[in-house]
């Protein structure tokens, strides 16, 4: 059983990738919609939320936990691995960094993400360790998440804002761009259009899903079970609007189950 959590519903892009790449595995998703966004919270608060979310997923039977949130991935992973040392964790930052390294030719890489993800410098630190010659240029893109969640995918305002966020990075001559938020794959075509064909995009949802698939294949104890195949989605707050967003992210009808925030906190 695979547990996935995010600050809201953006992590469902990771779930969608897992569903297309795996068969016979139960996936449990928790979207912390009552406390979203994480991108404006302190690292200490995000870490506390991440611990609570992990406990909840483990309580439901998860054997693998995917942190489908760039903010939590960039601030909470070391604490999560120390707190739950027996649990295989997967986060969206490292596989995205690895993919970017494999794609870049001129060693100039761009990053867009939440303010917290960019400010954490997590990508800067990883690139510095792997290849000190890499030049990473980052630009916070705080307006993209609310625009995506409003369904403004093709609005001229969204197109203009995407273009505005990308201009400083394009001026640096980047040839690779990391989509540093799991919401962004929803508008990947638009981002590619505004970035230009010369710039290659790194989709964190796809990369972390590939990491999970690779791990499962290399660890036979995680055997598929078609009887457990399926998806359950839990949220800490529920409105009819959230259902529409979830269906947009997954491209299919879904049922959201509300769980009391107290249950998450006390898991």
Residues noted as catalytic: 69, 181
Is residue 87 within 8 Å of residue 58, measured between CB atoms? yes
Beta-carbon contacts of 214 under 8 Å, excluding residues fewer than 6 positions away, are: none
Helices (runs of H) and strands (runs of E) counted in the chain: 13, 10
266 phi, psi to nearest 5 deg: -105, 15
Q: Can you tell me the distance from the alpha carbon of 144 to that of 162, in angstroms, rounded to the nearest whole number? A: 8
Both tokens of 34, joined, read 């009552």
DSSP 234: E
**DSSP result, 79-123:** HHHHHTTTS-EEESHHHHHHHHHHH-SSSEEEEEE-HHHHHHTHH
29 phi, psi to nearest 5 deg: -115, 135
Is residue 52 within 8 Å of residue 264, measured between CB atoms? yes
52: nearest Cα among 76, 71, 27, 88: 76
């Amino acid at each position: 059983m695979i547990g996935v959590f995010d600050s809201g519903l953006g992590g469902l892009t990771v779930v969608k990738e897992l569903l297309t790449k795996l068969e016979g595995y139960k996936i449990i998703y928790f979207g912390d919609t009552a406390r979203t966004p994480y991108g404006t919270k302190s690292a200490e608060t995000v870490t506390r939320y991440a611990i609570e979310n992990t406990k909840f997923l483990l309580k439901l039977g998860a054997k693998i936990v995917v942190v489908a949130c760039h903010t939590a991935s960039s601030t909470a992973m070391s604490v999560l691995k120390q707190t739950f040392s027996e649990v295989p964790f997967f986060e969206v930052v490292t596989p995205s960094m690895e993919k970017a390294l494999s794609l870049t030719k001129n060693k100039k890489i761009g990053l867009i993400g939440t303010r917290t993800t960019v400010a954490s410098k997590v990508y800067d630190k990883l690139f510095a360790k792997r290849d000190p010659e890499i030049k990473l240029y980052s630009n916070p893109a705080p307006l993209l998440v609310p625009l995506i969640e409003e369904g403004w995918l093709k609005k001229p305002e969204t197109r203009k804002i995407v273009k505005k966020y990308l201009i400083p990075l394009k001026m640096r001559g980047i040839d690779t761009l990391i989509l540093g938020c799991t919401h962004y794959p929803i508008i990947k075509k638009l981002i590619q259009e505004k970035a230009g064909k010369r710039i290659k995009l790194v989709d964190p949802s796809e990369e972390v899903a590939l990491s999970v698939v690779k791990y499962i294949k290399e660890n036979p104890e995680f055997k598929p079970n078609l009887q457990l195949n399926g998806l359950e989605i839990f949220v800490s707050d529920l409105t009819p609007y959230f259902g529409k967003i979830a269906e947009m992210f997954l491209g299919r009808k879904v049922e959201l189950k509300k769980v009391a925030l107290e249950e998450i906190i006390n898991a």
